[in-house]
Structure 1
Amino acid sequence: MSESLTIVGIAGSLRAQSYNRQLLAAAGELLPNDVRFILADISNVPLYNEDLESALPEAVVTLKQTVESADGVIFATPEYNGSIPGVLKNVIDWLTRPRGQSSLNGKPAGIIGGTTGMFGAVNAQMHLRHILPLLNMYVIPQPLVLISQIQNKLDAAGHLTDETSQKFLQQHLDRLVSVARRMKNEQ
Structure 2
Amino acid sequence: MARHIVGIGGTFRPQSSSELLVRAVLSACERMGARVTMFDGAALAALPHFNPESQDRTAAQAAFVAALRDADGIVIGTPGYHGGVSGVVKNAIDLLEDLRGDDRVYFDGMPVGLVVSAAGWQAGGVTLAALRGIVHAMRGWPTPAGIAVNSIAQKPFGADGALIDAGIAAQVDTQARQIMGFRLEQAA
Code of the aligned partner of 1:94: L
Q: What TM-score do the two structures reach when normalised by structure 1?
A: 0.85
1:92-124 Cα offsets, whole Å, 9 max, x none, are 110122752455333221101222434472111
Q: What TM-score do the two structures reach when normalised by structure 2?
A: 0.85
> CA shift at 1:26, angstroms?
1.8
> CA shift at 1:7, angstroms?
0.5
1:4 is paired with a residue whose SS is coil
Preserved CA contact (<8 Å) 2:65 2:98: no
Equivalent residues in 2 for 1:1-187, closer than 5 Å: 3-31=1-29, 32-40=31-39, 41-53=43-55, 55-97=56-98, 99-101=100-102, 102-119=105-122, 121-141=124-144, 143-149=145-151, 152-179=155-182, 182-183=183-184
> CA shift at 1:164, angstroms?
0.6
Code of the aligned partner of 1:38: T
Code of the aligned partner of 2:90: K
CA distance in 2 between partners of 1:59 and 1:109 (Å): 22
1:146 is paired with a residue whose SS is strand
1:55-79 Cα offsets, whole Å, 9 max, x none, are 2222211100011111100011110
Backbone CA RMSD of aligned residues: 2.4
Preserved CA contact (<8 Å) 1:77 1:121: no
1:136-168 Cα offsets, whole Å, 9 max, x none, are 111112x23111126722011111111111111
Gaps of 5+ in 2: none
Gaps of 5+ in 1: none
Code of the aligned partner of 2:66: Q
